[in-house]
Structure 1
Amino acid sequence: MLQLQFLSSPRLSVQTLNPDSNSNTKPFPPFSFSFSSLKSTQTHAFKFNPLSLTPKPSNFSLKCRQSEYFDQKQRFNNSSPTSWPPPLGLPPRFYVGHSIYKGKAVLTVEPKAPEFVPLDSGAFKLSREGFVLLQFAPAAGVRQYDWSRKQVFSLSVTEIGTLISLRARESCEFFHDPFKGKSEEGKVRKVLKVEPFPDGSGHFFNLGVQNKLLNMDENISIPITRAEFTVLNSAFSFILPYLLGWHAYANSIKPDETSHGNNANPRYGGDYEWSS
């Protein structure tokens, strides 16, 4: 708090500004100002000569004290758990997604990165392509959705290509069995149908899930307008090379290796049409 204190003679009266009083005057945060008048002492702040009317300054004192506001702000900044950039050795992680909310359901779209395995040579090989995860949740009220009943559907890169090439009045259908090739095969059936509006202004995304293990049969449908479908297709087109892992390969290319890097490897030396 900043306090200004003047020592004045009895002839010069100064009113005290007290923030706790009933006065309409309010201090300006984060500082408060208070003026106090003291009784006459031998030391005066200003002495007036009635003949010359020239003030002669005497002892003037100014006392300053830092507000607790700045102390608290400084302590908060020093103890903040969020820091940027992240600690050394830990790469930053980003989570993204896009949601489309409608009256009866919500659709959330999230990309999932591909997986790589290390080789003995120190290089990495793609072990699993990335995909796009669709999450459907039915409405439980006005602007409320029951995520405990959500159903998921994973779009492969080929299925993403089918959606991207879909025209206004075309439809497609995808069938998934999460337990295909296992003992539970056929007990869970997922069907995603993308069908056009009658006027061709959008598509219905309808997900049907039959789960015999849980004795459950769920159908969730959500209308996607042409504009919303365009946004999805644009995002799909952008992320598709990353789901294939080609970005990792592109980032590993060095200028001095583009001309003779693969030719030095006999495994790939005869695979080029122009090498013969």
Structure 2
Amino acid sequence: MNLLQSPTSSSTSVPLRSPKFPPVFSHTPAFLRNCSFAPSFSRVSRRKLSVECRRSEYFEQHQRFNGPADDSSPQSTGALPPRVFVGHSIYKGKAALTVEPKAPEFAPLDSGAFKLTREGFVILQFAPAVGVRQYDWSRKQVFSLSVTEIGTLISLGARDSCEFFHDPFKGKSEEGKVRKVLKVEPLPDGSGHFFNLSVQNRISNVDENIYIPITKAEFTVLVSAFNFILPYLLGWHAFVNSIKPDDPARINNANPRYGTDAADLEWSR
């Protein structure tokens, strides 16, 4: 019979002994046979451990800006919200066009509120074709649309056209060295619009002209996307998310700019 303890047995079990063999401690001196080798746990002290969790300063500012988050949101656990990059591309034989929105920027105030410092915009990236379904993005030209220019594109009819001129160095010493002109004109058959970007850069010696036809369906998709994103580029979604019925500032009609509520000044006339 096996004298070893099974790995799965309890730690308090006693190994079995066979009468054919002498006791395990039969050859052990008497003074050792009377000793106890069982460990004593009476002197073991227990420590109480504590864990302290500190939320980041960004999370606290985000809470003040967007309000308390529910238990299922990433903010409730202190995790930063994931960043999402989106865009829409149109590929044609002569060029490709990619449209990407850029978020507005906010700055924190001493009062704990946030102020819009820069409106969002939409970036148009034009890349010339170098083969069948192949485009040279190293030669891409970029044009940023402001919210007002986006409004102009949204209001275009089937036979309407518009033109935008940009000088990135306007008001600086390099003014006039870079000239960007974006023309949007209707196609001759009325099936859509031409997007034509002309870039003259005397600093890097670039003279590029990229155009791409946009069908009526493709233009409708762009207009729908512009209509959706426009309030977000203005930052109005942040204002809507910050509205609370128990906000003391709204109850007291306190306006930091005018001292009193502007609506009261209007309707009290």
Instruction: Give aligned pairs, total.
Output: 193
- Aligned match for 1:210, one of 200, 216, 236: 200
Other-structure match for 1:97: 87
**Aligned CA-pair RMSD:** 2.0
1:264 aligns with 2:254: yes
Other-structure match for 1:61: none
TM-score, reference length from structure 1: 0.66
Distance 1:178 1:123, change over 3 A: same
Q: CA deviation at 1:200?
A: 1.2
Other-structure match for 1:139: 129
Which digits, 9 at most, give the CA deviation of each residue in 1:193-221, with x for residues without a partner? Answer: 00001121100000000000011100000
User: Partner amino acid for 1:239?
Assistant: I
Answer whether contact 1:131 1:157 (CA < 8 A) is retained. yes
User: Partner amino acid for 2:267?
Assistant: W
What runs of 5+ residues in structure 2 fail to find an aligned partner? 1-72
**For 2:251 and 2:213, how far apart are their aligned partners in 1?**
50
Other-structure match for 1:168: 158
Pairing of 1:1-276 with structure 2 (within 5 A) = 88-257=78-247, 260-261=250-251, 263-265=253-255, 267-272=258-263, 273-276=266-269
SS in 2 for 1:148: helix
Answer whether contact 2:127 2:140 (CA < 8 A) is retained. yes
Which digits, 9 at most, give the CA deviation of each residue in 1:230-253, with x for residues without a partner? Answer: 000000000000000000000000
Answer whether contact 1:262 1:268 (CA < 8 A) is retained. no
Answer whether contact 1:133 1:154 (CA < 8 A) is retained. yes
**For 1:154 and 1:268, how far apart are their aligned partners in 2?**
37
SS in 2 for 1:184: coil
User: Partner amino acid for 1:274?
Assistant: W
Which digits, 9 at most, give the CA deviation of each residue in 1:4-27, with x for residues without a partner? Answer: xxxxxxxxxxxxxxxxxxxxxxxx
Distance 1:189 1:262, change over 3 A: farther
SS in 2 for 1:158: helix
User: Partner amino acid for 1:179?
Assistant: F
**For 1:181 and 1:259, how far apart are their aligned partners in 2?**
40
Which digits, 9 at most, give the CA deviation of each residue in 1:88-135, with x for residues without a partner? Answer: 422111110000000110000000000011111111111100000000
TM-score, reference length from structure 2: 0.68
User: Partner amino acid for 1:216?
Assistant: V
Instruction: Give the percent of matched residue pairs that are identical in Structure 1 and Structure 2.
Output: 80
Answer whether contact 2:254 2:261 (CA < 8 A) is retained. no
Answer whether contact 2:74 2:81 (CA < 8 A) is retained. no
